[in-house]
Structure 1
Amino acid sequence: MTAIAVFLAATAFFSASEFAIVKVRISRIDALFADRSKRAIAAKKVMSGMDNYLCLCQIGLTASILGVGWLGYGLAKQFTLPIVMHVGFSPGTAETVSMVLTFMSIAFLLIVAGALVPKSIAAQQAEKILLANARWLVWCSRLLFVFIPLFQGSVRFITGMSGVQRMSADSAAHTEEELKWLLSDSLKNGDSNALKYAYAHKLYEFESLNAKDIMVPRTAMTTIEKDTSLKQAIQFVQNEQFTRYPITDGDKDHIVGVVNMKHLLTAFIQDPANGQLPVGIFALPVIQVIDASKASELLLKMQHERIHMAILRDEYGGTSGLVTIEDILEEIVGDIQDEFDTDEIPEVQQLGEGHYIFDAKLLIDHINNLLGIDIADKDIDTIGGWFMAKSFDTIKGQKISEQNYDFLAKEIDGHQLLYLEVQRRK
């Protein structure tokens, strides 16, 4: 009986270890490894040779199960058979019944004590189980160093023929979709809060954005001509109240730099005579990239060059719009309003259930997600562009019905659509 208990314990050990290896987070082991504790060093070694140690666990499980089965046969002969014969069965029948009873008892113990219980514990405490078992696994691997390469060689041969890649620590890393699922699950379980989830989700969405998706379009750009005097520029910006302005040479397709109002005001305060100087001499370099550039790559470029504004060019060399550091950060943390943004109108205004006012510059994908519809147009990015493509000569009050929603042109400035009112049909 003692020997059976030992083999059952070995089965539980290898079963829990195998599950812990697969379940544990690599990042947690890496963090513990930095502390250089003996258990963490052993755990890191196990995870670095994951395929070898999973093979070791399988060898240990198989050997332990075979050991229990071998001892079970002797147990049936020694204990179960006399009891069954005492009941009154014939010798032949009694031997069969004793073997069946012993087999069922051992199978029950192996399933419950040798598999389900240890795996259940390992699922909830994978890190603790691996740290506790890692040194023993390393020791066992040294004892079975001859067998592991033999089995691993066989596995490589068979999987190589079938085209299946080998298991490694890297392949245990989570994909982006799995991480999103884990974040959502953590929020549902109360392990995270809505703010952390929103930030993380926006970071993943941000990676897919192009610069033109977040730009201030050319028509909304406020620029200053390079020959404008410093004093005139200061008077001009009293109404706009931006910090930085693109400097043009004739029109918006010829942007020669950017000025920071702090520099202009400093120059004027130091010597009022500077007020007659053209702002062009105060212009600083500005980043200029194609509008199809990734927003994440543009952010890195702006950080590296320490320039807070970028001009976006279309494929023909004309100016599409501009992007500031604030525009990029708002895609991650939401709207950032300073003391001069008191009259800023939100891009989405909800008037009631299924009733909104949308900024025409909102992306179609955003509208689809918000309304649960599927407007598809691969050539147009914004909801305003989609509306005007449906009706080029758009006038105020014009309505288009789409997928149980009415889209109404609420505000127009010349040929530019500014706001749409959208309401679900009853």
Structure 2
Amino acid sequence: MEGDPLIPLLAFMLNEIPLGPSLIVVLLLITSGLISGSEVAFFSLTADQVKACREDDDNIGKSVFALLQKPQELLATILICNNFVNVAVVMISTFIAWQIADQINIPRDGIEIFISLTFVVTALVVFVGEIVPKIYATNNSLLFAKKMVIFWVVAIKIFKPFAYMLTSMGNYMEKALAKRNYNLEVSVQEIDQAVNLATDQSDDKATEMLKGIIRFGSKTVKQIMVSRTDMNALDKSINFHELMDTINKSRFSRLPVYIDTIDSLFGVLYIKDLLPYLDKNEHFEWQRIVRKDIYYVPESKKIDELLRDFQERRVHMAIIVDEYGGTTGLVTLEDIIEEIVGEINDEFDADLLENFQSEDASFIFDGKTSLIDFERMVLLDPDYFDKVKGESESLGGLMLELLQEMPSTGKEIEYKGITFTIKAVDKKRIKTVHVRFHDEEHIKRLQEEFNEEEN
């Protein structure tokens, strides 16, 4: 249309754009793409890939692993570089647009310049600097990370002060959010109190079940799992007679099978699958009936999500892995259900009854007993040790937190009406703990609970 300034503007942009600044913009867009791709590449590496980098013979792989040990610093540097580059693209593109405006005699602050600049720069940055590199990096994450690792080692050194400022701000925000989460915990406690008021005090089991439902959605599998040191598992190399001896001692219905170490799992043996072969000799190849479909889940998975997965997959056991792919424990359907309905004495939980002294309501616990299980078994509130447990997740870990040293046998610890006595230790951990209560009402509850179960 005659008189429309957009037509000569676009024609000039195609034919007379300044070469020098344009080349700089192209280089900056490529750099932006490499930076955006790096973010995806480094932070989408699988646990196996990270483990491979750690064990890599060359320095490139080890450098990738080293960068991932400080993810906040790496991410802060990536964000700083990406913003610097994108701001530079906008500034130089604005300079080019002004040059074009001067050549065709239109105002630099005209609407035509604003619309054209916004559209062109946004399209280029999003397509060249974001979409294309991120798609490539997603499909080639390890290769991309290794190609860019030297760049980021240097960039981290250059931008270290800026990265420190960003990470400090991030830590501050994390603490602020942690306080908000603490307030949420208080709200859960208030709900617990409401449940206590609203339910019949004589029906303790119903009350505890309601509380279990309230807390169910906030727990992770790491909080309820059986740790790797407590896992009952089978070595694939044992013969059939050794297998049967192990099964008779463990009394579990499903057992993981490993090759050499617990980190290299072969499958899961269902004891019911052995029934047709009980008369076989020691040379029977029992490994043929091991089921290979192992279900792996991360430590951070919520137990309500895992319960849905169990229902959909029709499985009863999951192996828990850490960020590097190593086995950290296992969790079963029973463990999840116990979080709502309380302890289920189906396989070996009844052993606790043998260690219960009814006359003084005392117990002997393995130091590896999880705090969650301990609190549930002895009828304590789930937050009973929150102020002192620190990062500990087991009874032995709680003892170390209370003492701040490795105790000797016979050491006594008093906490909120409970006496803990260390019964056995080795160089690395607390093996067994004697637990005795002093509150008369609590002792009566324990005696009623365990005498009822024994009967």
With normalisation by structure 1, the TM-score equals 0.49
> Is the radius of gyration larger for structure 1 or structure 2?
1
With normalisation by structure 2, the TM-score equals 0.46
